[in-house]
Structure 1
Amino acid sequence: MQSQIFELQYALDTFYFLVCGALVMWMAAGFTMLEAGLVRSKNTVEILTKNISLFAIACTMYMICGYAIMYGGELFLSGIAGSETLTSDALTTSAENGFGGDSVYSAASDFFFQVVFVATCMSIVSGAVAERMKLWAFLWFAIIMTGFIYPLEGRWTWGGQDVFGLYNLSAIGFFDFAGSGIVHMAGAAAALSAVLFLGARKGKYGPNGEIRAIPGANLPLAALGTLILWMGWFGFNGGSVLKLGDIASANSVAIVFVNTNAAAAGGAIGALLLARVIFGKADLTMLLNGALAGLVTITAEPSTPSALQATLFGICAGLLVVVSILALDRIKLDDPVGAISVHGVAGLFGLLIVPITNPAVSFIGQVVGALTIFTWVFIASSIVWAMINVVIGLRISDEEEYEGADIAECGMEAYPEFTL
């Protein structure tokens, strides 16, 4: 009888991991549609190409070496059997070590769930560098980011290893439930480094410091992308509970789903109201980014707040992201989709408020962890961007930027019926 319970839990937790992983994979479609909607039509094909390519590169590099760096083991996933069977060894050596109310699942399902997180991190960079970066420069960076930079900071956090042998983030109280810092702020740090190297799009800022809006070509696509991301986030946060096979875990999953949704709703409301105060009208792009900021914020700890607290956290994130987007524009940091504000600023905010609802977490630990992640990713990314810039250059020419990256980088247009 006990063996049957083991087998049922193993099957249920493995299946739950796989379904949540598939939801997170669908977030790739969300990022793709969001970015395609917020860039000009002449850059649509290139942004689509980047997003699908980066997902393929992330999956391949994490298989080759990223997973081994982050969690230990052999390269090329050779340590994961092609066909796993339920054995006592499989039960006792699973990620949470045994039955007893803990998670028991296939190692392959763990890899699948983890690899889609890597792709999410890299997707954040794509939108921030849109409309002016060379496609192949971006893809070369994706290889290093997904194969080395992200896995190493993941090793120090979720992997439980010391930071260059100096200190252990878990031991000093750092906590990040599903990746506000480990995934989202890390992606934003790489994006910020790239934006500093690239500079702004031509015409974005006037000679006297005026800020010129560059509207996206397809706001229905951007709205669709946001709703896809909102849905995929249930897998992102819900799957990070790591199991479903007992009453306590099922209740925890339900709470995480409710809080994830509440924070997104709060973020949308907060951004919508502040945009109305500032601009005198409802700004759709701020509304969309507010919902995403709420989602990023709650990702750090969606299991301990009440639904009301999650909503309030989301509202704060929505207000914060509007202020951040406007502030970055004032200092001439051109981020076409608001990725640095949504994932970086809201990600940091999410980390810092965890101790409010989870007293076991140290505020100092959160600060040290955030600084560690940001410093490592920013410095490592800057080195890689600098090397790529020397070898092949980062930015397309002024003429290519004027004509659009679609023709320059991909040789085709998204809407060819409008051309002769």
Structure 2
Amino acid sequence: MRKRALRLTLAAVAGLGTVALFPNIANAQDADPVTVLGQQLNLLWVVIGAILVIFMQAGFALVETGFCRAKHAAHVVSTNFAIFGLGFIAFFLVGFPLAFGGFSTSLIGLDAPVGEPLLGSGNWVFLFQGGWALSTGTITPALLGFFLYMVAFMDTVATIPTGSMAERWKWGSFVVWGLFCGGIYYPLFAAWTWGGGWLAKTWDSMSLGAGYVDFAGSGVVHAVGGAAALAGAIVIGARIGKFDKDGTPRAIPGHHIPMAMLGTFILLFGWFGFNAASTFAATDVQFATVATNTAIAGAFGAIVAMLWITKRSGKPDPGMMANGMLGGLVAITAPCAFVAPWAAAVIGCIAGVLVIESVFFVERKLKLDDPVGAISVHGVCGTFGVIAVGIFSNGSYGAGWNGAPTEGIEGVIKGDWGQLGAQVLGVVVIWTVLFGVAFAFFKGQDAISKAMGKGGIRSTPDDETVGLDYPEMGVEAYPEFVKH
């Protein structure tokens, strides 16, 4: 009797949950109770993942602020704070429908898309529509949970240029970027990939495997953000005193290395929501593989970076160790569900070296000033992560929520070169189209500001010299200790 009563109770709870998940669908209470309980559990998993990813914003804030000078600390941490709301609002109003209006997944009970294609059709959809401001179409808790997860990823993209453009970015110009990124910039590539657009489709005639595959965002998030970071750094120029007259770079030390390393640990913590929750199902035990691969790559990235920078400079630079861990985490984000642990270690090792060599190349060869290494960590290591899918995927998994087919994803190590072709195509699109969009935005914004007599997107030399805290923000981070 007790077992029968328990089954009846579970069925009743499941029935109520069905109505909650699908409030606008007729006869929702007739859905299978076991299926609904699984969807509810998965939706909880996604919301928990979203919370972890949103908390990563604290990590970014500490990393960037610690790597910058004390006289700019209030300004830098404020950009990392404000970007959350700016990007969120724009994504809520227009960005989410453009990227995910045509998305659905039964894993969390989102069985039907809220909208439809806006530009293109069939396998060649470029933008979607539906669910504007989460107030049109069939708005369910499942859709809202999905939005919360996706808005967290978008904010990661938006915050990446705040590192490469730190210490000389005018506040008003930064605000416009936050709105543009959430409303237009991020949704473009998201629509083409995770949203079900043209890059994600299988192109049998082109032998490109499963189409572009990116489990948790090495490309969709990090490389796209890194492309914007590079474009912004080019347009805004180097900080005063960064380069000698002959172009030799000078070190400009950050003011709080412990703060930056604490931020790195917070990012590591949040990354498990970034990657593991991208299974979109707590019932999919592959999340354990994803989480472990994530930790492996981060650990190997940190230690290999420590060894490599010691070889290069004679000292185990704390900043490079932190960036080595972040580079490993960024690189494993796309292939984390498709590779074996040994491959995760290899990916982390390569990223640990790659991030350091990239920092040197950006500074010494390109003569660009990137105070926190955002271009290298996110742009370069994110690009490597996208390519790693096409190299190290072992065919054991492929049922990802983001468009991956049910058959396993296979890379070069399994003799399949087609997937590598699809990944390289995605990389080309990021570093041509998305970089072009970002460069045009920053360049156009700078030109318009100058034409209006506001001096462009860069702070004035006087403000930069004294520190942006008081001129831009009206307060100083350390008023009793910073001397001008």
TM-score after normalising by structure 1: 0.90
Partner of 1:224: 262
1:244 & 1:260 partners in 2: Cα distance?
17
Partner of 2:65: 36
- From 123, 143, 146, the equivalent of 1:110 is 146
Question: Counterparts of 1:257-406 in structure 2 under 5 Å?
Answer: 257-331=291-365, 332-358=367-393, 360=410, 362-392=419-449, 393-406=456-469
Q: Which structure has more RCO (C-alpha within 8 Å, separation ≥ 6)? A: 1
Partner of 1:237: 275
Shift of 1:38: 0.4
1:156–1:169 Cα contact (<8 Å) kept: no
2:391–2:420 Cα contact (<8 Å) kept: no
1:153–1:376 Cα contact (<8 Å) kept: no
Partner of 2:415: none
Unmatched tracts of structure 2, length 5 or more? 1-10, 12-30, 102-129, 394-408, 412-418, 450-455
Partner of 1:74: 131
1:197 & 1:414 partners in 2: Cα distance?
27
1:83 & 1:354 partners in 2: Cα distance?
33
2:332–2:347 Cα contact (<8 Å) kept: yes
Shift of 1:169: 5.3
* 3-state SS of 1:360 partner: coil
Moved more, 9-18 or 301-310: 301-310
Compared CA separation, residues 61 and 69, structure 1 to 2 (3 A): same
Q: Given the alignment of the two structures, is residue 188 of structure 1 paired with residue 238 of structure 2, yes or no?
A: no
Q: Given the alignment of the two structures, is residue 130 of structure 1 paired with residue 166 of structure 2, yes or no?
A: yes
Q: Which residue type is aligned with residue 120 of structure 1?
A: T
Q: Deviations over 1:61-116 (max 9, x none)?
A: 111011100012231111476664xxxxxxxxxxxxxxxxxxxxx11110100000
Shift of 1:376: 2.1
Note the aligned Cα RMSD (angstroms).
1.6
Q: Deviations over 1:246-267 (max 9, x none)?
A: xxx12x0000000000000010
* 3-state SS of 1:416 partner: coil
1:169 & 1:338 partners in 2: Cα distance?
33
Shift of 1:4: 2.6
Partner of 1:153: 189
Q: Given the alignment of the two structures, is residue 178 of structure 1 paired with residue 216 of structure 2, yes or no?
A: yes
Partner of 1:204: 242
Moved more, 231-240 or 71-80: 71-80
* 3-state SS of 1:140 partner: helix
2:131–2:139 Cα contact (<8 Å) kept: no
Compared CA separation, residues 25 and 240, structure 1 to 2 (3 A): same
Q: Which residue type is aligned with residue 380 of structure 2?
A: V
1:128–1:336 Cα contact (<8 Å) kept: yes
Q: Deviations over 1:287-339 (max 9, x none)?
A: 00000000000001101222222112101100010000011110211000000
2:321 & 2:345 partners in 1: Cα distance?
15
Q: Which residue type is aligned with residue 70 of structure 2?
A: S
Q: Deviations over 1:230-283 (max 9, x none)?
A: 1100000011111112xxx12x00000000000000100111000010111110
2:78 & 2:448 partners in 1: Cα distance?
22
Shift of 1:356: 2.5
1:242 & 1:364 partners in 2: Cα distance?
26
Q: Deviations over 1:194-241 (max 9, x none)?
A: 111111111111112322100001111100110000110000001111
1:293–1:343 Cα contact (<8 Å) kept: yes
Partner of 1:103: none
2:231 & 2:265 partners in 1: Cα distance?
28
* 3-state SS of 2:245 partner: coil
Q: Which residue type is aligned with residue 160 of structure 1?
A: G
Compared CA separation, residues 387 and 356, structure 1 to 2 (3 A): closer
1:278 & 1:161 partners in 2: Cα distance?
44
1:68 & 1:181 partners in 2: Cα distance?
20
2:135 & 2:85 partners in 1: Cα distance?
19
* 3-state SS of 1:413 partner: coil
Q: Given the alignment of the two structures, is residue 20 of structure 1 paired with residue 49 of structure 2, yes or no?
A: yes
Q: Which residue type is aligned with residue 284 of structure 1?
A: P
Q: Given the alignment of the two structures, is residue 58 of structure 1 paired with residue 121 of structure 2, yes or no?
A: no
Q: Which residue type is aligned with residue 439 of structure 2?
A: S
* 3-state SS of 1:418 partner: coil
TM-score after normalising by structure 2: 0.78
Q: Percent identity?
A: 38
Q: Which residue type is aligned with residue 348 of structure 1?
A: T
2:350 & 2:222 partners in 1: Cα distance?
18
Q: Which residue type is aligned with residue 395 of structure 1?
A: R
Shift of 1:357: 2.8
1:145–1:381 Cα contact (<8 Å) kept: no
Q: Deviations over 1:151-184 (max 9, x none)?
A: 0111111112237xxxx65534211111101100
* 3-state SS of 1:177 partner: coil
Q: Which residue type is aligned with residue 463 of structure 2?
A: E
Instruction: Report how many residues are paired.
Output: 391
1:61 & 1:399 partners in 2: Cα distance?
33
Partner of 1:411: 474
Shift of 1:128: 0.5
